[in-house]
């Protein structure tokens, strides 16, 4: 190998991750004429939709909304077969986007970024991968995803288990046939609730190990209605704009005006029933304007769903166990399902309460709880992710000033706008913590972040500025604002992955911004219009802002 080939490859921007956000970042930054490179751990594009191939995996945002808006031709031409996209369909769409915009040539697949180091003398990041590759770039764009670090409980004995085990977030590409098997599913979040009805149809017997009951609503999935699709597409430009005037980045749900407590019991039931029949989580939470603000108001909706569970599940003890009682509805991700509660009426399905009788260990032939032994041929961990901060913290991101992301976020994430982090110049995040990402239509938020970052890079280039860094004060104020906004709602009351409660030892901080997409985008736009207020700009980051202008 010549000495020359050992030199790092140089880029203007390095993008980590080729999911929905990373792909759009490649496209957008390339149109600025930047030389970009993306590193992707998977063998293909799609991120979440590449990894989560478990049976029943489907988006809980409607297909006509959950799609890119940056190309009108794309959004007009792509045909969605169902109201909610299945994982294979969404992955097909993302692959189509990668091909259509010729994005693959900038991506190194099967390559995991291990270390990212900033050199403050040159304002350049050096990126090292598990393939031994070293590349440098002025800018790093972390498109590493919010739910991309699968986690399973550390039960002893798994190594001795004779059957196969799986995590929903790392599902085998060839699929799994559970026919004739005794299967255990651990976890009843969105992934568990979506996969349980399908696995139940295959398995000889399915044991569902539930620690916490979650609220789930019927998705009411259906084949796409072609006239609805045509009408929606005719209004795409206005609808996409209107989405930014909504809290969750999804247009078409008129904001509720009335408190649940101002409505009569009869009026409330009518409203909830209509939403229950219509399907959709935002729509349900939009029944009244205070469901996420007032516990008393929320309880009327929570109890409505509990009654539905009791009316659906025939065995009263099982129904009771399935009724959530530890959090207000909507404060954990509200799940959409197809036949979830109905599945417990099958003779081959058993719900096991591991809240009161926890799993003790995995045995060679199954698992044991505090009071019983279960014989299992396969175990499915639907136990979620180290959400929002996991993927960033898995990479050794540090600066030559000695600051590392592990130290910086030791007590929880701290960011400015969820886009940048004080102490980490020229490092951007797409839908980072303290942005609305996971509390919004994710693709809309990815596009908004990428567009903001691209505009920022153009601004810097036009002024000959080579460095940008969030100011400490601006970051502190943004973190405070996030907490204030969250504390006005019921969200922090739930032991959800939003607060890191699913990961033992993770600091309890409410991580997403819940002030709504409208307020957030307005703030981002104002910051940019004011010359990137709250950011320090400089040819060298060490220079004060005035020296750069």
Phi-psi label, residue 333: left if phi above 0, alpha if psi -120 to 50, beta otherwise: beta
Among 187, 418, 492, 500, which residue sits at the site for ligand N01 (rule: CB under 6 A)? 187
Asked if residue 80 lies in contact with residue 229, where contact means CB atoms within 8 angstroms, the answer is yes
Options 68-76, 380-388, 416-424, 445-453: segment touching ligand N01 (CB under 6 A): 380-388
Give the one residue of 63, 67, 194, 246 binding ligand N01; rule: CB under 6 A.
194
Q: What are phi and psi of 185, to 5 degrees?
A: -110, 125
389 binds ligand N01 (CB under 6 A): no
Q: Taking CB under 6 A as the rule, does residue 212 contact ligand N01?
A: yes
Region of 14-22, 180-188, 291-299, 537-545 interacting with ligand N01 (CB under 6 A): 180-188
Nearest Cα residue to 248 out of 215, 279, 278, 282: 282
145 three-class SS: coil
Contact 509, 436 (CB under 8 A): no
Q: Is 367 in the site for ligand N01 (CB under 6 A)?
A: no
Nearest-approach distance from CB 330 to ligand N01, in angstroms: 12
Token output for 498: 């939003």
Q: Which of residues 324-343 bind ligand N01 (CB under 6 A)?
A: 333, 336
DSSP per position, 320-380: HHHS--SS-TTSSPPEEESSHHHHTTSTTEEEEETTTS-EEEEETTEEEESS-EEE-SEEE
Q: Residue 466: how many CB atoms within 10 A of its CB?
A: 20
Residue (of 185, 152, 124, 74) closest to 427 by Cα position: 124
Residue 464's Cα: distance from chain center in Å?
35
Q: Does 60 bind ligand N01 (CB under 6 A)?
A: yes
441 binds ligand N01 (CB under 6 A): no
Cβ atoms of residues 379 and 186 within 8 Å = yes
Binding of ligand N01 at residue 147 (CB under 6 A)?
A: yes
Does residue number 191 form part of the binding site for ligand N01 (CB under 6 A)?
Answer: yes
- Residues that bind ligand N01 (rule: CB under 6 A) add up to a total of 25
Q: Is 184 in the site for ligand N01 (CB under 6 A)?
A: no
Length of the chain: 549
Quick note: the x/- pattern for ligand N01 over 25-44, rule CB under 6 A, is --------------------
Whether 382 and 195 have beta carbons less than 8 Å apart is answered as: yes
Residue 383 binds to ligand N01 (criterion: CB under 6 A):
yes
Name which of 114 and 360 has its Cβ closer to ligand N01. 360
Under the binding rule (CB under 6 A), the answer on residue 443 touching ligand N01 is no
Q: Which is nearer to ligand N01, 333 or 398 (CB)?
A: 333
Q: Which stretches of 5-63 are assigned E, i.e. beta strand?
A: 9-16, 36-39, 58-62
SS3 at position 451: helix
Here the tokens at position 279 are 């399907």
Does 497 bind ligand N01 (CB under 6 A)? Our answer is yes
At CA 307, angle to CA 306 and CA 308, rounded to 5? 90
* Under rule CB under 6 A, residue 189 binds ligand N01: yes
CA distances to 101, 155, 498, 508, 515 from 501, in Å: 39, 18, 8, 7, 21
- Whichever of 135 and 336 has its CB closer to ligand N01, that residue is 336
Binder of ligand N01 out of 382, 429, 456, 527 (CB under 6 A): 382
Query: What's the closest the beta carbon of residue 431 comes to ligand N01, in angstroms?
Result: 12
148 near ligand N01, rule: CB under 6 A: no
Under the binding rule (CB under 6 A), the answer on residue 502 touching ligand N01 is: yes
CB atoms under 10 Å from CB of 131, counted, come to: 12
- Residue partners of 3: CB distance under 8 A and separation at least 6: none
Q: Is 190 in the site for ligand N01 (CB under 6 A)?
A: yes
Using the rule CB under 6 A, is 354 a contact of ligand N01?
yes
User: What is the C-alpha to C-alpha distance for residues 6 and 17, in angstroms, rounded to an integer?
Assistant: 24
The three-class DSSP label of residue 461 is helix
Considering the rule CB under 6 A, would residue 145 count as an interface residue with ligand N01?
Answer: no
- State residue 369 phi and psi, 5-degree precision: -105, -175
Per CB under 6 A, which region of 94-102, 233-241, 381-389, 479-487 contacts ligand N01?
381-389
- Name the one range near ligand N01 by CB under 6 A: 57-65, 256-264, 389-397, 517-525: 57-65
Of the pair 18, 382, the CB lying nearest ligand N01 is at 382
Q: Judged by CB under 6 A, which of 63, 69, 182, 188 binds ligand N01?
A: 188
- CA separation for the pair 49, 412 (Å, rounded): 27
Q: For ligand N01, give the closer residue by CB, 215 or 385.
A: 385
Q: Report yes or no: 518 and 244 within 8 Å, Cβ to Cβ.
A: yes
252 contributes a contact to ligand N01 by CB under 6 A: no
Nearest residue to 54 via CA among 193, 155, 164, 212: 193
Q: Which of 211, 233, 310, 523 is close enough to bind ligand N01 by CB under 6 A? A: 211
The answer to whether residue 201 forms part of the interface with ligand N01 (CB under 6 A) is no
Of the candidate spans 33-41, 254-262, 383-391, 409-417, the one that interacts with ligand N01 by CB under 6 A turns out to be 383-391
CB-nearest residue to ligand N01: 189
Q: Tell whether residue 153 is a contact of ligand N01 (CB under 6 A).
A: yes
Q: 348 vs 369, which CB is nearer to ligand N01?
A: 369
Note whether 182 binds ligand N01 by CB under 6 A. Answer: no
Strand order of the β-sheet with 366-369 is 359-363, 366-369, 373-375
Considering the rule CB under 6 A, would residue 24 count as an interface residue with ligand N01?
no
Q: Which stretch binds ligand N01 (CB under 6 A): 5-13, 184-192, 389-397, 455-463?
A: 184-192
Residues that bind ligand N01 (CB under 6 A): 58-60, 147, 153, 168, 186-192, 194, 211-212, 333, 336, 354, 382-385, 497, 502
């Amino acid at each position: 190998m010549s000495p020359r080939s050992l030199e790092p490859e140089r880029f203007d921007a390095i993008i980590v991750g080729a999911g929905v956000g990373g792909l759009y970042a490649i496209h957008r930054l390339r149109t600025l004429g930047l030389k970009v490179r993306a590193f992707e751990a998977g063998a293909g594009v799609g991120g979440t939709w590449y990894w989560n191939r478990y049976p029943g995996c489907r988006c809980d945002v409607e297909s006509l909304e959950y799609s890119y808006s940056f190309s009108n031709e794309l959004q007009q031409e792509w045909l969605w077969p169902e109201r909610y996209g299945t994982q294979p369909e969404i992955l097909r769409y993302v692959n189509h986007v990668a091909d259509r915009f010729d994005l693959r040539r900038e991506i190194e697949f099967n390559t995991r970024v291990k270390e990212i180091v900033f050199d403050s003398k040159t304002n350049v990041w050096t990126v090292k991968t598990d393939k031994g590759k070293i590349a440098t770039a002025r800018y790093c764009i972390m498109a590493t995803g919010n739910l991309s670090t699968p986690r399973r409980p550390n039960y002893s004995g798994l190594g001795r288990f004779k059957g196969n085990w799986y995590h929903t977030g790392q599902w085998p590409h060839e699929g799994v046939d559970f026919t004739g098997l005794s299967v255990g599913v651990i976890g009843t979040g969105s992934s568990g609730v979506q996969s349980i009805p399908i696995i139940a149809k295959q398995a000889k017997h399915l044991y569902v190990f539930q620690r916490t009951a979650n609220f789930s609503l019927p998705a009411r999935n259906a084949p796409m209605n072609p006239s609805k699709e045509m009408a929606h597409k005719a209004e795409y430009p206005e609808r996409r704009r209107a989405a930014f005037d909504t809290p969750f980045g999804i247009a078409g749900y008129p904001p509720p005006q009335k408190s649940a407590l101002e409505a009569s019991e009869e009026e409330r039931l009518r409203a909830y029933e209509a939403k229950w029949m219509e399907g959709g989580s935002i729509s349900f939470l939009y029944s009244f304007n205070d469901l996420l603000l007032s516990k008393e108001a929320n309880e009327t909706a929570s109890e409505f769903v509990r009654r539905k569970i009791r009316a659906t599940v025939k065995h009263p003890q099982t129904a009771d166990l399935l009724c959530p009682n530890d959090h207000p509805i909507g404060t954990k991700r509200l799940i959409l399902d197809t036949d979830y509660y109905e599945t417990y009426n099958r003779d081959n399905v058993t719900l096991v309460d591991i809240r009161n009788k926890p799993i003790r260990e995995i045995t060679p032939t199954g698992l044991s709880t505090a009071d019983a032994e279960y014989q299992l041929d396969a175990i499915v961990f639907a136990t979620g992710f180290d959400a929002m901060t996991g993927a960033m913290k898995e990479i050794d991101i540090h600066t030559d000033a000695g600051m590392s992301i592990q130290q910086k976020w030791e007590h929880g994430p701290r960011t400015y706008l969820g886009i940048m982090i004080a102490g980490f110049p020229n490092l951007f995040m797409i839908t980072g913590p303290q942005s609305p990402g996971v509390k919004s239509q994710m693709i809309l938020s990815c596009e908004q972040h990428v567009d903001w970052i691209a505009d920022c890079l153009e601004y810097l280039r036009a002024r000959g500025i080579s460095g940008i860094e969030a100011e400490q004060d601006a970051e502190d104020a943004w973190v405070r604002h996030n907490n204030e906004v969250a504390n006005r709602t019921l969200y922090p009351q739930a032991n959800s992955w939003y607060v890191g409660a699913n990961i033992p030892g993770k600091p309890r901080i409410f991580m997403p911004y819940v002030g709504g997409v409208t307020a957030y985008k307005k703030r981002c736009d104002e910051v940019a219009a004011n010359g990137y207020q709250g950011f320090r700009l400089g040819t060298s980051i060490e220079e004060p802002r005035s020296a750069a202008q």
